[in-house]
Chain A
Amino acid sequence: MPLDTPAAPLLSVRDLKVHFPIRQGVFQRQVGTVRAVDGVSFDIGRAETVGLVGESGCGKSTTGLALAGLVEASAGEVTFDGKRVGTERGASLQRYRQRMQIVFQDPFSSLNPRQRVRDILRAPLDIHGIGKASERPAKVLEMMARVGLRPDQAANYPHQFSGGQRQRIGIARALMLNPDVIVCDEPVSALDVSVQAQILNLLNDLQAELGVSFLFISHDLGVVEHISRKVAVMYLGKIVEMAERDALFANPTHPYTELLLSSTPSLDPRNRHDFAASSEDVPSATSKPSGCAFRTRCPLATAECAEIEPPLTPRADGRTVACHHR
């Protein structure tokens, strides 16, 4: 079981799977399956930020897309505010979608270039029929102010904004429906560091003001450490370690978490890493090793790791780890 949250969690994900068929040939026969997300479980509490960290192809973004309903989950159970979501249709799914929004990495391609900002921000209200039509323009301006955009920019098009401002528009759009959870998929990865800091501060401010929860997906350990309360580390479709933020960074337990932390450049020129020049072949989701997927890169791997996949098990200090040897 994931970490205990004081109250019942707002969002609870159990054994989420997203599998894609690999098709080949004239008849597009299925020749295999990519298990992009392969049994992921975690909880998010109210006004809490959970970081989901991992390298490209680990399934972290697909997890976020599945929760936001943008790719179909193959299996698993999602409970939102005590109610099961996964199989719902119609009105209740619509309600869930209102309460679960997403912010994308690329603020350039996730905004319609032909729409003015005020129309981009108003669309969610129109679609979900929220408030009186006459009150919507005021709501748009209020939200623009909240994310740090000026009212005189309301008639502008996305190309008239910088990358950081565009990400503010993306965040404002996600907030229009007053959601409980926002999936943030690499929201600052495309931004310069000075602008990245603006957006991270904004997300923290919004959480304090509005009590919104974030699933914060990123490859950047520094950013995840800064913003998260809990952190889950993914490797090839699975969570390999999950812990409170400080516990994870102070005392990584899974060998993959250790590798990630020891690979991250330090900001102290007097204390440089002794990076090894050697290379290793990194497997992908289509060529996942048997047993523990990390074993081909793991210094602790034994014969057992090739045969039996280690389950994610709770440890005495409250974290959960999937490793036979730790």
Chain B
Amino acid sequence: MSAPAVSQAPADAPALDVRGVTVRITTDDGGFNVVEDISLAVAPGETLCIVGESGCGKSMTALSLLRLLPDGARVAEGAIRVGDTDLLALSERQAEDIRGDRIAMIFQEPLTALNPVMKVGAQIAETLARHRGLGRKAAWAAAVAALKGVQMPDAERRAQQYPHELSGGMRQRAMIALALACDPSVIVADEPTTALDVTVQAQILGLLRDLQRRHGTAVVVITHDLAVVAETADRVIVMYAGRRVEEATITDLFDSPLHPYTRGLMGAIPKGRAEGGDGRLTDIPGTVPALWNLPRGCAFAPRCPLAIDKCRAERPPLEDHRPGHRAACWRVDDAA
């Protein structure tokens, strides 16, 4: 292969490349890790889902990707690259230039991202003015176009309204328009449809799918809902107690989940009778452990039906058990 004339990332280079990120919360009596050793890579046009229950660290992972961690929490180790930019090496000012431009976030609750006292169109125009240097008129026109791009009904009029004047589904569209305004290469969506009614959720999932197809955006979806995972993901990371416990392509994960926690989650979902799921649900006994008081070995061991002494003593590493299918469990071979 001849060397490329211009320095350009190869076509299959990840849009987002995260290596060994650990997020640490510092407290008066020391601290603890809420996210430990997360690595992931997302290619343009690809969707990676991070799935887990409350307290598994998935939202902290999302916030760390944009350097939006709350006070007291920080990335203690690891590297985050957006394209060829090392995000953690940037000053706060430089990070602001990247955020909203090359990497953007969609939140569960649009009111956390939208300014309540500013017209929806003006917020999008402001982002465009900052990152694209557009003048007032051009920015406004681009903002209306962005709202049309997310199929906001009556976009010109909606641009003149405040967030509280919009319905939940329309607010979600406005926030997506804001996130996508500068055509970022990476979108991080934290529970993007959790607060929505199911018919509106279907519209928003359809919209995200459509936008991703057209723009080739790399998407990270953070969710607790395995059905949303089944509808959106190319690849999946399952998190438990701040760590990855399983990683696979979407079909491998649903065809043959390896980790007992993943299996438990799948058994716990009520499946319609058509899908053969009547009768008793498999529940996972107990609750998620506190991150500041994790057991010594595998964090899932206290709830795991397969746990043996080794699980309680030694933490299992995340290993390939099949090509591209990794799990952190000592009992994978016995589970199948």
Residues of B near A268 (CB, < 8 A) are: 230, 254, 275
Q: Looking at the complex, which one of B201, B267, B269, B280 makes contact with A222 (CB distance below 8 Å)?
A: B269
- Give the interface of A toward B (CB within 8 A): 55-56, 162, 164-165, 192-198, 200-201, 204, 219, 221-223, 225-227, 246, 249-250, 259-260, 262-270, 272-282
Interface centre among B199, B205, B265, B267 (most CB of A within 10 A): B199
Chain A min CB distance to B261 (Å):
9
Q: Provide the bound-state CA to CA distance between A41 and B260, in Å.
A: 45
Knowing A55-B198, A259-B199, A263-B199 are in contact, say whether A193-B226 is a contact too (CB < 8 A).
Answer: yes
For B202, list chain A residues within 8 Å (CB): 262-265, 273, 275-276
Separation in Å of the A42 CB from the closest CB of chain B? 22
Q: Are A260 and B227 in contact (CB under 8 A)?
A: no
Please tell me if the beta carbons of A278 and B151 are within 8 angstroms of each other in the complex.
yes
Contact present for B224 and A193 (CB under 8 Å): yes
Q: Tell me whether chain B's interface is mostly helix, strand or loop, or mixed.
A: helix
**Contact at A193–B274, with CB atoms within 8 Å?**
no
- Residues on A with C-beta less than 8 A from B95 are none
Q: How far is the CA of A204 from the CA of B279 in the complex (A)?
A: 9
Closest Cβ of chain A to B70, distance in Å, is 21
Q: Cβ of B151 and Cβ of A275 under 8 Å apart?
A: no
- B269 (CB) vs chain A CBs: closest residue: A193
Q: Which residues of B contact A246 (CB under 8 A)?
A: 273
**Interface contact B167-A197, CB-CB below 8 Å:** no
Residue of A nearest to B273 (CB): A246
- Complex CA gap A260/B197 in Å reads 10
A196 surroundings in chain B (CB, below 8 A): 268
> Is A275 a contact of B230 with CB atoms below 8 Å?
no
> For the side of the interface on B, what is the size category?
35 or more
Which residue in chain A gives the minimum CB-CB distance to B281? Answer: A197
Q: Taking A192-B288, A197-B284, A249-B274 as contacts, is the C-beta distance between A273 and B231 under 8 angstroms?
A: yes
Q: A281-B153, A282-B167 are in contact. Are A55 and B197 (CB under 8 A)?
A: yes
List the A side residues contacting B250 at CB < 8 Å: 269
B198 and A193 form a contact (CB under 8 A): no
The answer for the CA separation of A161 and B17 in the assembled complex, in Å, is 39
* B287 within 8 A of partner (CB): yes
Cβ-defined partner of A279 (8 Å) among B173, B267, B277:
B173
Query: Is the CB–CB distance between B230 and A195 below 8 Å?
Result: no
**How far in angstroms is the closest Cβ of chain B from A54?**
9
* B203 CB within 8 Å of chain A: yes
Q: Give the residue of A193, A262, A266, A276 whose beta carbon is less than 8 angstroms from that of B53.
A: A193
Determine if B273 and A279 form an interchain contact, defined as CB atoms under 8 angstroms apart.
Answer: no
Q: Which residue of B has the minimal Cβ distance to A222? A: B270
**Chain A nearest CB, measured from B52 CB (Å):** 9
Shortest Cβ gap from B16 to chain A (Å) = 22
**B231 A221 Cβ-Cβ under 8 A:** no
Distance in angstroms between the alpha carbons of A270 and B265 in the assembled complex: 19
* A114 CB → nearest B CB, Å: 24
